[in-house]
Amino acid sequence: MEKISAIASLSQLNRQLGYKLLVIVAMALAFAYGLVPLYDVLCRVTGLNGKTENVAVSAQSRVDATRWVEVSFTSNVMPGLAWSFHPVQSSIRVHPGKIETVTFIARNMANETVAGQAVPSVSPGKASEYFKKIECFCFQRQDLKAGESREMPLRFYVSPDIPDDVKALTLSYAFYSAIK
């Protein structure tokens, strides 16, 4: 009799510990989903991954005419989007603080209207927070009719606060078919 109740209480203990361990499992799952915003914040704060703020900033007037920074442009069209897309000029030399405008050309080669979304990224990553966009086609999705081609301007400046050792940076655009 005593043995039976001992076994019963042991199996109860076992179950209790099992549930406690299940809490760790639940926490680990929550942690996985928690990593998504955490990672995003971390990237933005550190400029890791070349993520740039995808919002317009207002112009500022301080121009550092003593320095040059070479800004190059590259373009990619991701699978699933039948567009051609490229910058008109592949690079430009700028004074930090001076506002420049460059143009990209996109052409829809499909025979229906297609929406695309451009995603920018800057390398080296540490330069990304100093690359300021005033106006960009990447701020909203672009609808192109069948066969339509469009010239798309980008107005930007490189912040004068950019570290001295950054003499060149690359802005890369990837055009995706826009999420419906």
Partner 1 sequence: MSYSTTVDHEEHHDHPSGMLRWLTTTNHKDIGTMYLTFSLIMFMVGGAMIMAVRAELFQPGLQLMHPEFYNQLIGVHALVMIFAALMPAATGFANWMLPLQIGAPDMALPRLNNWGFWLLPPAAILLTLPFTLALFGIGDGAIATGWTFYAPLSVQGGIGVDFAIFAVHLLGISSVMGSINIIVTIFNMRAPGMTLMKLPLFAWGWLITAFLLIATIPVLAGAVTMLLTDRHFGTHFFDAAGGGDPILFQHLFWFFGHPEVYILLLPVWGFIPQILSTFARKPIYGYKAQVYSLCAIGVLSVVVWAHHFFTAGMPVPALLYFMYSTMAISLPLAVLFYCWIATIWRGSMTFETPMLFAIGWIILFGIGGLTGLVLADVAADAQYHHTYFVVAHFHYTLFAGGIMGIMAGVYYWLPKMTGHMYNEKLGKLHFWLTAISFNLTFIPQFFLGLAGMPRRIPDYALQFSEFNMISSIAAFTLGLTQLLFVYNIVSCVRGGKKATDKVWEGSNGLEWTLPSPPPYHTFNEQPVIR
Considering only residues 101 to 130 of the shown chain, the ones binding partner 1 according to CB under 8 A are 117, 119, 123, 125-126
The site string for partner 1 over 138-157 (x = CB under 8 A, - otherwise) reads: --------------------
Q: Counting contacts by CB under 8 A, is residue 28 touching partner 1? A: yes
Q: How far apart are CA 134 and CA 56, in angstroms?
A: 5
Binding residues for partner 1, how many (CB under 8 A)?
Answer: 40
Q: Counting contacts by CB under 8 A, is residue 4 touching partner 1? A: no
Q: Counting contacts by CB under 8 A, is residue 72 touching partner 1? A: no
Provide φ and ψ at 92, rounded to 5°. Answer: -150, 145
List the one residue from 8, 15, 88, 161 that touches partner 1 (CB under 8 A): 15
The site string for partner 1 over 31-70 (x = CB under 8 A, - otherwise) reads: xxx-xx--xx--x--xxxxxx-------------------
Provide φ and ψ at 49, rounded to 5°. Answer: 75, 0
Give me the torsion for CA of 122, 79, 84, 91, rounded to 10°.
20
Residue where the block lists tokens 């001295």: 164
Q: Where are the beta strands (DSSP E) in 42-148?
A: 69-77, 83-87, 91-94, 100-108, 114-123, 131-135, 142-144
SS3 169: strand
Min dist CB 8 to partner 1, Å, is 14
Min dist CB 38 to partner 1, Å, is 10
Provide φ and ψ at 37, rounded to 5°. Answer: -65, -35
Question: Would you tell me which residues interact with partner 1 (CB under 8 A)?
Answer: 10-11, 13-15, 17-18, 21-22, 24-26, 28-29, 31-33, 35-36, 39-40, 43, 46-51, 78-79, 117, 119, 123, 125-126, 174, 176-179
